[in-house]
Every structure is written in C-alpha cells, then in structure tokens.
Amino acid sequence: MIDVQHLHKTYRVRSGGLLRGHTRELQAVRDVSFTVQAGEVVGYLGPNGAGKSTTIKVLTGLLVPDGGAVTVGGLVPWRERRRHVARLGAVFGQRTTLWWDLPVRDSLELLRHVYRVPSARFRENLGRFTDLLDLGPFLDTPARSLSLGQRMRADLAAALLHDPALLFLDEPTVGLDVVARERIREFVGVVNREQGVTVLLTTHDLTDVQRLARRVMIIDHGTLLFDGALATLQERFGGARELQVDYEIPPADPRIAGLDLLHADGARVRYAFAGAAAVPIARVTAHAPVRDLAVLEPDIEATVRRIYEGGLLRPTLP
C-alpha cells in the first residue's frame, strides 16, 4: 500500500530580518525508508518536529520531496493527486472537513458529490457510521455548534464516506473525553477489521497505539529510528515487568530470590522481573499460598518517554 525509499525533504528557513537575514537549511526528513502492507495499522511516533507531519504531507501529495521514491497504492502522490486523493481519507485533529455553518448531514451530502459516491452506497455508509459513531443526535446540528468529540466523530465519517483504502489519522483523539476516545478507537478497529482499511496513525496518546497498532515506527530528527512490533519495542526498552501477588495471608518474609521486591502491603506484594524472562509463577507459589496474581506490563508511555529522554535510539547525525 505504501512504499517509501530514501525519502529526503529539506526546508529553507529565513531568519534575522529582511535586510540582514540569512537562510539556513532544515532537514525535516533524511533518508527515510519503509513499507506498509494493505490492511496494516501502523503507529508513526516521534516528538514534535521529528518529521512526522512532513512524511504525511508527502504521502498525501501536499509536498514534493527533494529526493527518494514514494508510491501509495501504486501512484506517486504529488504527480497523480486527483486519482490519489480519491482513494484516501484523512482526519487531522486540529482541522475539519465539515462546512462550518452547515448541518453535519449537509456536509456529508456535499462530500458525497465531491467523491461521486453512489446514492445507495452513501445511504448504506451513513447508516452504518451513524450506528457505530452515534451520529444521530447531532446529524442536523451545524458544525460550529458541535463539541470537539462530536466533530471528530463526524470528521471520521466524512473521511470514510467514499470507502478509501487508506486512512491517515493525525491526533484523532486529542482533547477528547474518555468516552469519545473509546468510541473512535472502536470505530477505527472495526473499519480496519471489516473493510481492510490501511491506517497510518500519528499520535501523542499512546493508548491509541496500544489499542489499534501492532507495529510502530519512531522518527526523530528526520531519521527513522525504529520500525517493528510494539511488543518488540516494549521488550527492548520497556524495562522490568511487574508481578502483583495476593497471598492467602501476609508472608512473614516477602522476599524471593531472583525477584526484586517493589512493595509489600499486607498480603499484596509487587515484584519486578526481567522483561524477557518467563513469569516466575512456580517460584512464587512455592514461597507461600497464593490467592491471585497478575502480570503488569511496562507502560508504553513510560517506555517511549524513556527512549526520547534517554536518547536510546538517538541517530548519528552528520
């Protein structure tokens, strides 16, 4: 679905005033290569200014790169824009495709004509999206009167109205309450599973990534630093896993050889053990009678923060 090879993009930034200013070059993306297969959901992560937005703008055809080869669904995005945009959907958290003063229903009807969606297909999609996203209560409300959560759900419906094969999501849950975030995640999961829509997701809310993506790419300073399974990222950089044990009675000595004791509160004790190691259930149950136990995986947000702050994937810059 997406094939990116040796992508380069440099911006020329002028600073210092009109008369005595100077121009410097800023490499937004440098030698980035990756592929995304049809039906994948991929999280594209990185701090602000890392190169995520530049990559997305190239993939959508908004920017022409300075070097490299890019195809999306077999098309070069900036050369075949009309055919290209007809096959993709995009939702950007800070922008809307809805007409500000029109009811949501009218905006969707206008988009039906823009994308030449047949009437029967439009009615079918609108009915399904109304059920999945609970659009009914605000279909006849102008976009300017919608809450942020309602607008995002309407924008998702607008982005998928024409059955695109590829969906770009940029911060789709930013600023939303818990209920709205969950509804959007469930909807994206459904269209991926049932329709095979390929999804490229950029977000700072890493719960979105955990819920939707099995694969992540991390970019920083314009360089792709990691491309692989989310589980692999956790295993390499997530640190210790935790084992929470509820004993039948508080153990006289909660310490167990080979496990790091983190906290003991009566019969509930938490241990840490190496992320790649097998869960040491036999060792724990042999120590004292156990009522219940749970394995707590490393928090994905803490993992990514550790990568950024510690420079664990820091590129070697020229």
Alpha helices in the chain (DSSP H): 52-60, 81-85, 104-114, 119-133, 148-160, 178-195, 206-212, 230-237, 281-287, 300-310
Non-local (6+) Cβ contacts of 309 within 8 A are: none
Strand-pair partners of 290: 247
Question: Rounded to an integer, what distance in angstroms lies between the CA atom of residue 224 and that of residue 116?
Answer: 37
SS3 label, residue 147: coil
The pLDDT value recorded for residue 299 is 67
pTM: 0.78
pLDDT per residue rounded down to tens, the chain (318 residues)? 999 999 999 988 777 666 666 778 888 899 999 999 999 999 998 888 888 989 999 999 999 999 999 999 999 999 999 899 999 999 987 788 999 999 999 999 999 999 999 999 999 999 999 999 999 999 999 999 999 889 999 999 999 999 999 999 988 887 788 888 888 899 999 999 999 999 999 988 778 888 899 899 998 888 998 999 888 887 777 667 788 999 999 988 999 888 888 889 999 999 887 766 677 888 888 888 999 988 877 667 777 777 777 666 665 444
Question: Rounded to an integer, what distance in angstroms lies between the CA atom of residue 224 and that of residue 207?
Answer: 21
